[in-house]
Chains A and B, each alone.
Chain A
Amino acid sequence: MSDPKISSTSEPSGNVTGASIMLEEVTKTYPGQKKSAVGGLTLEIPAGSIVMFVGPSGCGKTTTLKMINRLIEPTSGQIVINGEDVTGMNGDELRRRIGYVIQAGGLFPHMTVATNIAMVPKMLGWSKEKIAARVDELLELVSLDPELYRDRFPKELSGGQQQRVGVARALAADPPVLLMDEPFGAVDPITRQRLQDELLNIQSEVQKTIVCVTHDFDEAVKLGDWIAIFNEGAQLEQYDSPERILANPASEFVENFIGSGAGLKQLTLTRVNEVELLGTVTTTPGKRASDVLSQIQGAGRKFAVVLDSRGRPLRRLDRRQLSRAEIIEGTYDPDLPVVGEQATLNDALDTMLVASAESAIVTGPRDVFKGLITVQTVMEAIAAANASMDQDHEAPVGLNSGAINVVDIEQGSSSGESA
């Protein structure tokens, strides 16, 4: 299966640790209800990819997600993970092998960050030393300093930090599959964008199979290798790559769901690290301002970026500020327009608009300065992306059997059974 995205960081390497998931004619009918919440859904989730479930509220996407780890027991059908039918096994044991992240992290407020993360390893009977080492490793992975955060309680963390710990807890026992239920729904847009970038960074390292429910189509396009768009009763409207869904919506429903701005959705398909970044003059605190000023003038730039000792951007200083100052100051500017290199052009544009700046600073792993992205760059990238769009690839299987008239003709093997 070829990765539909040209993203350079998630190298299609051999160390995919994820497992494939296969839902086979899975149905959930609640007692006393005529219509099934999920009707005869067959869905293939390829190992190591991120699959996004989107659809209107009450469409059964969350029910489908919860049937994968059997928090909700399917009425009929089979769930197969890595070739093993898990429909009959002990649910608790199954769930210890599957990471689970909910909105706002779902951290237990009376336990420290470390205890929260250690829950699953403890249940699996790991040794204390192994657990402690794993907790620190995971905190590093989600960009939280273990020394600082290990012994804190959830209420002492910001929303974004809680969500990070939630992800760390889900990854604790290194499960091949990660289920996420609207993970970034409860944080502000800027934090959400950062968390999304981080999730992509983490995924490029761990290569899990991630199934994520969201109601935000932009998020689905940004995170998903594949997107499943559901209608009521978990009827699959379209299951394909973001590019193809945007280019060829399968139905009017999908078209409406994507919204009229589909042309601009191309912005969400291109990452910052796929476009050429601009260099600029960088400096460190303590340098003489006049030297920096002459450097800028020599290079024909409008401002210099101040970096800390680890190469992380602190602030930027324009010519006027430089001519007033004597020594470069090392204070951090919280309003600095910064985007991660995994961010989409949409995020970058957003950041620039919010800061009313015509360029934004791009950072790589561990927040290290990478370069600048400008409005100009973004515009050129959209034009280029629109020019080259068609790619051939094979989408994973996804269909509903029996129920309603959405039977794919090519896949027409299962038909006829009336509900």
Chain B
Amino acid sequence: MSAERRGLIFQLLGIAAAFAILVIWLVTADLTETERQTLDPATILKYTQQHLEITLISAVIVLLIAIPLGILLTRPSVRKAAPAVRAVANFGQAAPAIGVIVLLAFWLGFGARTAIVSLVIYAILPVLSNTIVGLQQVDQRLVEAGRGIGMSQLAVLFKIELPLAVPVMLAGIRTALVLLVGTATLATFINGGGLGILITTGVNLNLNVVLIAGSLLVALLALTIDWVGRLVEQLARPKGLS
């Protein structure tokens, strides 16, 4: 526990330090006019906001789809369908995100909405499979004990199975969030906004400072989201579990 807590503090300090170095470097560096315009703090803030928006909206949709689906697929009556559904979700993650995002854009049109759709396809797998695994690893004798003392199936699900699956499920959600932050960079290709624009601008106009700043910002954002996820995992872990 304390080791994990120390890890959390180190991660936060690391993120803060890296961010400070980035800022100092950008302030002191000898920037061209184009670079200065692109890296204007207000603009960056706007891009970051867009980036987070895309990420969080996709994340919420992922949760709304994957968790109920995962629960459904562990119920005795539909358990047999689990491998098939997982194969589909697997395909969603295995397909190259850049390909999916561009192809979908041709079909659904360019913009943030399409970006969100493809991000959702991309990030369903970790949440879905961790929900399934988390529920499957709950000791069946506890489920039976719950039924045996007169709890309904629904009560057993909400009071026993889900609380005991929370640690595994949260790990999957955190993985999905980190994937989403990274992949949201691709939204810029279909005019979806986000920090990805700094990277593409950097590449297209051969502005190395912009390219590096953009990449670092995305990485730091992912690490921050990961940190928040870890914190939630620690706080939400049911008491009494080792």
Contacts and interface: CB of A to CB of B under 8 A. Distances in A.
Interface in A99-129: 99-100, 102-104, 106-112, 119-120, 123
A95 B240 contact: no
Contacts of B150: 92-98, 120, 123
A155 interface: yes
Interface in B186-242: 238-242
A106 B145 CA distance: 6
B238 A110 contact: yes
B148 A100 contact: yes
Nearest to A95: B150
Contacts of A155: 240-242
Interface in B110-163: 141-142, 144-152, 155, 159-160, 163
A149 interface: no
A340 to B, nearest CB: 27
A69 B164 CA distance: 26
B142 A106 contact: yes
B141 A102 contact: yes
- Contact size class for A? 20 to 34
A169 interface: yes
A170 B241 contact: no
Contact of A100 (B145, B160, B239, B242): B145
B238 to A, nearest CB: 4
A170 B148 CA distance: 10
B139 to A, nearest CB: 8
Interface string A324-335: 000000000000
A264 interface: no
A103 B144 contact: no
Contacts of A94: 150
B158 to A, nearest CB: 12
B149 A120 contact: yes
B151 A102 contact: no
| Candidate in A93, A112, A153 with the most chain B CB atoms within 10 angstroms | A153
A170 B146 CA distance: 11
A69 B239 contact: no
Nearest to B163: A110
A39 interface: no
Contacts of B163: 110
A171 B144 CA distance: 17
Interface string B41-70: 000000000000000000000000000000
Given A92-B151, A120-B150, A106 B240 contact: no
B160 A108 contact: yes
| Candidate in B148, B152, B159, B241 with the most chain A CB atoms within 10 angstroms | B148
A102 B149 contact: no
Given A102-B141, A110-B163, A110-B164, A153 B239 contact: yes
A153 B164 CA distance: 14
Interface in A24-72: 69, 71
Nearest to A181: B148
Interface string A147-160: 00000011100000
Contacts of A110: 163-164, 238-241
Contacts of B148: 69, 71, 95, 100, 102, 106, 179
A106 B151 contact: no
B159 to A, nearest CB: 8
B149 A119 contact: yes
A95 B241 contact: no
Interface string B169-185: 00000000000000000
Contacts of B155: 123
Contacts of B164: 109-110
Contacts of A107: 145
Contacts of A169: 149
Given A92-B152, A153-B240, A106 B147 contact: no
Interface in A118-145: 119-120, 123
Contacts of A179: 148
A112 B238 CA distance: 11
Nearest to A179: B148
A102 B145 CA distance: 7
Contacts of A108: 142, 145-146, 159-160
A179 B148 CA distance: 9
B149 A154 contact: no
A108 B148 CA distance: 13
Contact of A96 (B142, B149, B238, B241): B149
B117 to A, nearest CB: 37
Given A103-B141, A108-B145, A123-B151, 16 more contacts: A69-B148, A71-B147, A92-B151, A93-B150, A100-B145, A100-B148, A104-B141, A106-B141, A106-B142, A106-B144, A106-B145, A108-B146, A108-B160, A109-B241, A120-B149, A120-B150
Q: Which 5 A-B pairs have the closest CB atoms?
A: A106-B145, A96-B150, A153-B240, A100-B148, A110-B238
29 contacts: A71-B144, A71-B147, A71-B148, A92-B150, A92-B151, A93-B150, A94-B150, A95-B147, A95-B148, A95-B149, A100-B145, A100-B149, A102-B141, A102-B144, A106-B145, A107-B145, A108-B142, A108-B145, A109-B142, A109-B241, A110-B164, A110-B238, A110-B239, A111-B240, A119-B151, A120-B149, A123-B150, A153-B239, A170-B149
Interface of B: 141-142, 144-152, 155, 159-160, 163-164, 238-242
